[in-house]
Structure 1
Amino acid sequence: MTIEVPASRPASLPKPPGDAAQCDTLAEVLSTAAARYEEFGEEATRLRDLRNTWWGVAYDAYVAASRKAAPEHSAMAGTVRRVGRAVTSYADTLRDLTGTHDTLVERKAGLDERRTTLIADIEAAAEATPEMIAALQQRATDLGADYGVLVADHDTLQRRVGENEDLLRQAFEAADTLTEGLSGDGGIGETARTAMQEPGAPGSGATPAQVREWWEQLSDAEREAVIAAYPGIIGSADGLPAATRDQANRVLLDDDLARLRAKEEDGTLSTAERRVLANAEAARKALTKADGYVDPTDGERPGGTLWLYDPAAFGGDGRVAVGVGDLDTATDVSVQVPGIMTEMSGVGGNTDEAIRLYESARYNGDGSSVATLFWLGYDTPESPLDPATYTPDRAADGGQRLADAVEGLRASRSDDPAHLTVIGHSYGSTATSYAATDHDLAADDVVLIGSPGAGPADTAADFSVGADHVYDGRNSRDFVTLFGDEGAYHNPGGLGVDPSSEDFGAQRFEAESVDRSSVVNTDDHSRYYDHDSESLYNLGKIVDGHGDEVNAAAHSYDPWYWGSVDPEWSREPTTDVPGRSDTRADDVP
């Protein structure tokens, strides 16, 4: 009996052409060039009115020329930026394709080794039994099938390499004439424009579920095209996979950093642009921290995600969301909503908290995968002196935005839903309460910590998740928690009921700090995510889906004969909780 040994296939595995690092350099050069065009346009506009020092025919000609030159240079800046983003996207895809190529090379080496071993075994089987021959034949059949899969995967790689090249060609050709350069969509290729005209495209008024359906019907090339051409739309589109939003937002971030740093070097950075640059630099540092974090339970890097990036929003305060872990696949996902004075420039510290929460859920959990997301998507009050701090308007707006964001997360994983927990801290807890009461927040569990009031909810039963899935953590020394209504006491600001109270009916857990003061203060308001703390331990349990295992605390109450009483005031706090970690998120570079 003859055993046919399959030939080694494919004959060669050529590496994708191009150097991603060189492309990054080109993208930076293009962003710098865009900055130069911007500068000219801005200066031409600024210097247009010289009537106090110059007049006459020559001045009139100058004004006419500047009126034409300023918008033309601004338009050219936009085109050059779009081409630069296309180069950045090309480089990112090239890295992915190169990684795929390296994996194929390893697979082929393994298959070739199996082939060599099979040939040697056949040659050594001079007096093989029928059973041995059948086994050798099966090995040959399996090897042939695996070579076939390798060939198919290699063909796919080659197709994607060609598509990536073609998309960059389209971007260049869409900006190679003056007319195109001065147009509003110069540098945007036909593939991207066509895809964004399909039903369900983001920006068309489509729901998150419709956006997800639109994305799923796109080819790989169409997806890469719209990310490169419309990163601002794709990066904030609810319903798209987190990895897709991350890719688009990183393109935006790279562009902002290169362009604004170039203007800073030239001394032409405006006050508004300076804030945007500071926000972009803060986002880069936070993302680097999230990318570099190592899970101490398994030694792996869960990876970071730039889920939201809008550094100019809210007058320069910015909108941003940074995740730790795979938001597209994790079994347990959390969203952390901050309170007053939180701005994008401080996202590094908030990312530390997301890392600590991730770590707590992993250390004290059941081994399931986890992803934590810090979300700053609403306009927080600016300070304790800001009147908005004591009124619910921004919390109500934040609640709507939060509900929309969570709906987007849900829609992006409609066929693989995660256990999802939303944690609102301080004024963010009031915003979370509005989301869960007025906007049917699509969470499984809701946690309020350091809350000044539960907004429109009279009791935990008013929340969309049901009373059994509403949790509250209150440090008895936390000054901010005194603003919640309780019993006969009503705060004139109107932020709502104290969620730690007996009347509200949430599941209260221990959240005291061993470093707490002997009196009510503001420092204890910022200790809910501290390492080895009661609060962080219990938060990790809830995020992991085991809220029934939190260390319960007695509710506060307001007897008719006395003021508000918090039983936690006299309990001695402890750090003696299971799953203590020696890793400090603050130490991650």
Structure 2
Amino acid sequence: MGTSIDAALAALKALLGSGDPVAPRVPNLPAEPPPWPPWTGDLSDAAQISSADLDGQRKRLYTQQVNAFPVITAAGQTLTHARKQLDAVIAAWQADKFSLSGLANTPAGQKALLAAGRIRLGEAGGVIRDAMHEFARAAQQLNAISDDFPLTAGQGRTAQLEMPQLPPDGATTQDVENWWNSLSQEDKERLIAAHPQKLGILNGIPAAVRDPVNRAVLNDDLHRVQDLAKLNGVDPSAVVSDPAKYGLTADDITRYTNAIQTRNGLEHDRTWTADGQNNGDRPVMLWAYDPLAFQGRGKAAIAIGNPDWARNTAVIVPGTGSSVKAGWLAGGRNDAAVLYDQSRLADPDSTSVIAWMGYETPDSFGDPDIGNTTLARQGGNLLAADVNGLTVTHNGPANITVIGHSYGSTTVADAFANSGMHANNAILLGCPGTDLARSAADFHLPDGGHVYVGAASTDPISWVPELGSTLQNYLNDELGNLVGASAGLGSDPAADSFGSIRFRAEVPGADGLNPSDHSYYYTVGSESLRSMTDIVSGNPGRLIDDNLIAEGRHLPHLTTPSQVNIPGLGRVEIPHIDIPLPGLGGIDIEPETGRGGVGSNHEYVPK
């Protein structure tokens, strides 16, 4: 009996082989190919293409080797650990036999020995199963790393199943959607598994596809550094500080740092709660991710809720000083989370809120770019492309509202007026000017659409477009050049003459201009967040019901009564005079200044 158990344990041990596991070696970074000789013509072109292809394959092979090292190392550690565990089981079996040797010839002793043998065989089988499971997982990881690497030039391992080509640059959003819908389910799954970065930022691709692709690219960017650090027994910060030492480039580090910021943004929008417990569970999606965009500032867009299926969608566009690199996606900004939460409480219809960090903003209030509209117009083109893409992939009727804050509101205005952006409504918060949009009509909104404006009377940025050039720059200087050396980016959308609908957005207890009031618009309980919630959730009529409509800024008027009371004659009609005056340096009257009853209890609450 004991002999048969010995043989079974020996057979299990043989499954783990003998000899030491292969120790992987970190390859050297491939050198750049030598300069191309002065040779021209068709043959030269073909040779250069072939050379570039081989160089690309060489670099890809290097990257795959680097990515494979931690997997191979872990597999070797699994093998060593399994052998030690199995040796311990065999030693325990030998001890069992010794302790029962005096009873070996008795029925009770044989029964006890059989029971002990079964236990040890079960333990040994568990060791083998665990090891084989880890080996299978390692094999899957290695296959994923090297799946489509061409074994020879022009010959892939899966030549019979070539990966579908992505749409060419310049393809329209509708072309992209048609291309995606034309693919077989197998091809779609293979593309998602391969996760080429371009697929995750192509407008016309459904959000449910973009999210896993972008997350996979983000994970690659994280593990490229983390796995090398683990392999070399150092902290990731050591790799970040000296990437060349570990075979990485500056772009690899930019991808890594922006991946961290984006991951933090996803987690923040998913879990943030006002009570600080951070135990929320919002449905977040990584709708766009390009960590090298805008000279390393990065592009990312996080959607809370699926914008392709939500009845209402809001796109939040930030202003000066915002970027992926600077941490706008997390960093204490709760704009998207609070708007999503309030919208869900305001209306049972589904709402999606997208935090869109998709353009280059001025770096700070001291950046010379803040005083001109170049970045706003460039950003407007990018914003329009993304928002218009939402309309193509959306299922059923949609209510899309685009919200811009500060310089972002100028960008939103230019996206509508200059770049052909299609949405139902616009909301401009603390706007320093609308550039190419001289009035609400320039937004070209559909029937029923409106330009809504939140402009606190104590927000100095919202006053910049109202001031004449002299006073405009004087106020800007007095406030420390809040909008750069030269103030003003166009018309004031809060003016009565602009044609917008202004909602109340005052700050409780405010007394005079205060730069911090420029950042109050998304505060829970504020007039402005309540107003935005009603607009975004498709209930703008509630602005009237809740007394949240504000009077627009306007020129002072010289007015006379239309009647006078003359003793003995009673009330006598006289010509009524109402003449707008130019005001002090062109400054309009601010009806919201000093308004009483400004509270902080306007939030929707759970029923």
1:65-104 map, 5 Å: 74-78=59-63
**Alignment partner, residue 352 of structure 1:** 334
Shift in Å, 1:451: 0.5
Considering Cα pairs closer than 8 Å and 6+ residues apart, tell me whether 1 or 2 has the greater RCO: 1
Matches within 5 A, 1:316-465: 316-345=296-325, 346=327, 347-349=329-331, 352-364=334-346, 366-413=347-394, 415-465=395-445
Instruction: Give, in whole Å, the separation in 1 of the partners of 2:271 and 2:463.
Output: 39
Q: Which amino acid aligns with 1:252?
A: V
Instruction: Please list every run of 5 or more consecutive structure 2 residues that lacks an aligned counterpart in the other structure.
Output: 1-23, 35-51, 70-138, 230-235, 474-485, 557-581
Cross-structure match for 2:454: 473
Aligned in 2, Cα 1:452/1:75: closer, same or farther, shift over 3 Å?
Answer: same
Name the structure 2 match of 1:28: none
Per-residue deviation, residues 486-544 of structure 1 (Å, max 9, x unmatched): 6887776551101111111210001112264x231221111111111111111111100
Cα offset, 1:351, TM superposition: 6.0
CA drift of 1:565 comes to 2.4
Q: TM-score, normalised by structure 2?
A: 0.64
Matched, 1:289 2:268: yes
Instruction: Return the alpha-carbon distance in structure 2 between the equivalents of residues 444 and 295 of structure 1.
Output: 30
Contact 2:195 2:216 in 1 (8 A): no
- Residues 8-87 of structure 1: pairs in structure 2 closer than 5 A: 40-41=29-30, 44=31, 74-78=59-63
Structure 1 equivalent of residue 201 of structure 2: 236
Question: How big is the shift at 1:79?
Answer: 5.1
Greater Cα radius of gyration, structure 1 or 2: 2
CA apart distance, 1:288: 2.1
Identity among equivalent positions (%) equals: 32
The amino acid across from 2:289 in the alignment is Y
In structure 2, do the counterparts of structure 1 residues 342 and 534 end up closer, same or farther at CA, with 3 Å as the change threshold?
Answer: same
Deviations 1:35-55 (A, max 9, x none): x66x723xx569x9xxxxxxx
Give the 3 Å change call, closer, same or farther, for CA 166–318 of structure 1 in structure 2. closer
2:592 is matched with 568
- The whole-number CA distance in structure 2 between the counterparts of 1:553 and 1:446 is 17
Aligned mates of 1:83, 1:419 — CA distance in 2: 47
State the distance in 2 between where 1:223 and 1:468 align: 37
The two structures have a TM-score, normalised by structure 1, of 0.66
SS at match of 2:528: helix
Distance 2:520 2:66 in 1: 43
Number of the residue aligned with 2:99 = none
Gaps of 5+ in 1: 1-32, 49-66, 85-164, 583-589
| Structure 1 residue 529 corresponds to structure 2 residue 522 | yes
Task: Output aligned runs, 1:304-319, within 5 Å.
Answer: 304-319=284-299
Partner of 2:184: 219
CA gap of 1:245–1:468, structure 2 versus 1, over 3 A, is: closer
Contact 1:468 1:507 in 2 (8 A): no
Q: CA deviation at 1:328?
A: 1.9
Contact map agreement 1:290 1:351 (CA 8 A) in 2: no
Aligned mates of 2:176, 2:280 — CA distance in 1: 32
* Deviation (angstroms), 1:205: 2.6
Report the secondary structure of 2:518's partner residue.
helix
Following TM superposition, by how much is the alpha carbon of 1:214 offset from its aligned partner in structure 2, in angstroms?
1.4
After superposition, the CA RMSD in angstroms is: 3.7
Structure 1 pair 383–272 and aligned structure 2 pair: CA distance change class (3 A): farther
- Give the aligned length: 434
> CA–CA distance in 1 between the matches of 2:54 and 2:399?
55
Q: 2:218 aligns with which of 253, 271, 275?
A: 253
Distance in 1, matches of 2:141 and 2:161, equals 8
Q: Which structure carries more helix by proportion? A: 1
1:407, distance to aligned residue in structure 2 (A): 1.1
Q: Secondary structure at the match of 1:484?
A: helix
Q: Which residue of 2 aligns with 1:544?
A: 537
CA spacing shift, 1:494–1:234, aligned 2, 3 Å: same
Taking a change above 3 Å as real, the CA distance of residues 333 and 281 of structure 1, as seen in their structure-2 partners, is same
**CA distance in 2 between partners of 1:396 and 1:532 (Å):** 33
Matched residues in 2 for 1:547 and 1:486: separation? 30
